[in-house]
Amino acid sequence: MENGMTNAEFDAFLEAIAELIEAKATTPQEAAEIVRNKKIKA
């Protein structure tokens, strides 16, 4: 069984975060908070 994400899955994950930032963040600090909250917990 493979560990981690495929490139396509990772690209989709990044795109989802980018879309969330575009829709919600109004400052760089808000954008950073969104990214930090979406970090994958190991």
This prediction has a pTM of 0.77
What's the pLDDT band for 42 if we cut at 50, 70, 90?
A: low
Q: Express each pLDDT in 7-25 by its tens digit.
A: 999 999 999 999 999 999 9
Three-state SS sequence of the chain: CCCCCCHHHHHHHHHHHHHHHHHHCCCHHHHHHHHHHCCCCC
- Distance, in Å, from the CA atom of 9 to the CA atom of 39, rounded to the nearest integer, reads 14
- Distance, in Å, from the CA atom of 18 to the CA atom of 40, rounded to the nearest integer, reads 15
